[in-house]
């Protein structure tokens, strides 16, 4: 990102630091500098497209990738390989949905425990309640407020 900004700044400084006599017909410096500037802008545009393409390919989440592609379309930035990027995006989305469906099915068949309960907590509680209910262990806890 910084390299692209530096390149644009160099182009701006190069073209704005020179003064030209626009009315002189024999002055070819302006035409030559303008051609160099437009070539530099075209090169910068290609580098920006390449950078954005690489950035769009390496986002981790399908939703974020889709948002980036929609933002690029809103700015009328047609990057090379846009349709392939959409195909990869939707295949990744399909894979995520299949993973979610598999996890949902697995959890329906064997529900996970509560997050704050260790696996043995349910067994200990059941044993404790059965002992209290059968009155094998007299259970009395004095309850006091304050001291």
Residue 6 lies in a domain: yes
pTM above threshold 0.85: no
Residue 125 lies in a domain: no
Residue 72 lies in a domain: yes
Rg (CA), the chain: 34
Residue 8 lies in a domain: yes
pLDDT in tens, 78-116: 666 667 777 777 888 888 889 988 988 887 777 666 666
Over pLDDT 70: what percentage of the chain?
62
Alpha helices, DSSP H only, in the chain?
Answer: 2-16, 29-57, 62-74, 82-109, 121-134
Residue 89 lies in a domain: yes
pLDDT in tens, 31-76: 788 888 889 888 888 887 777 777 666 666 777 777 777 777 777 7
pLDDT score for 35 = 86
Domain count, the chain: 1
| Residue 7 structural domain | 2-20+28-114
Query: CB–CB of 56/68 below 8 Å?
Result: yes
CA-nearest of 79, 32, 74 to 55 is 79
Output phi, psi for 118, to 5 deg: -70, 165
Residue 34 lies in a domain: yes
């Amino acid at each position: 990102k910084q390299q692209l900004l530096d390149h644009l700044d160099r182009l701006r400084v190069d073209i704005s630091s020179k003064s030209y006599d626009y009315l002189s017909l024999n002055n070819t410096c302006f035409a030559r500098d303008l051609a160099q500037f437009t070539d530099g802008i075209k090169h910068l545009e290609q580098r920006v497209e390449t950078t954005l393409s690489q950035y769009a390919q390496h986002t981790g989440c399908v939703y974020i990738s889709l948002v980036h592609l929609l933002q690029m379309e809103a700015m009328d930035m047609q990057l090379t390989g846009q349709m392939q990027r959409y195909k990869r995006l939707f295949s990744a989305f399909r894979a995520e949905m299949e993973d979610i469906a598999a996890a949902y099915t697995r959890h329906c068949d064997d529900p996970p425990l509560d997050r704050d309960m260790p696996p043995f907590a349910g067994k200990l509680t059941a044993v404790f309640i059965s002992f209290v209910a059968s009155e094998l262990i007299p259970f009395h806890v004095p309850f006091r407020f304050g001291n």
